[in-house]
Amino acid sequence: MVDLGSVAERLDKNHYETDEKQSHIEVNQDLVRTTGAGPLLVRICAAHVYSLHDDGTIGVLYAACLECGTCLAVAPPGALTWHYPRSGMGVTYREG
């Protein structure tokens, strides 16, 4: 069997061009809190973009986003505003 490396090692091969001026993910904190969707977002994201804070809000490390859209697919309607980063920004895949 061929060793492809760990997920972290493989993700490290990608190139990220961070848009310092504009996040492509916004969280409706009130809706996430009332629906209880925070733990789901944290659990579902393969890139660990979301974190749950002690006060129930969700932190977003958008620079690490793989732009797969999984969070948008599972989040309650209106919980996230998500779009692809501006042209030239975001992730460039080096593998797969």
Residue 39: what pLDDT? 95
The reported pTM is 0.75
Return all residues near 55 (Cβ < 8 A) that are at least 6 apart: none
One-letter amino acid identity for 83?
Answer: H
What is the CATH classification number for the domain harbouring 49? 3.30.70.20
Is 60 inside a domain boundary?
yes
| Per-residue pLDDT tens over the stretch 64-84 | 888 888 999 999 999 999 877
Is 36 inside a domain boundary?
yes
- Tell me which residue range forms the domain holding 71: 25-92
Which pair of structure tokens corresponds to residue 14? 């990608």
Residue 29: what pLDDT? 97
The mean pLDDT of 13-29, rounded to a whole number, is 78
Is 11 inside a domain boundary?
no
- Number of domains making up the chain: 1
Residue 56 Rama label (left phi>0; alpha psi -120 to 50; beta) = left
Whole-angstrom Cα distance, residue 18 to residue 27?
19
Residue 89: what pLDDT? 66
Is 41 inside a domain boundary?
yes
Is 82 inside a domain boundary?
yes
Which pair of structure tokens corresponds to residue 51? 């974190």
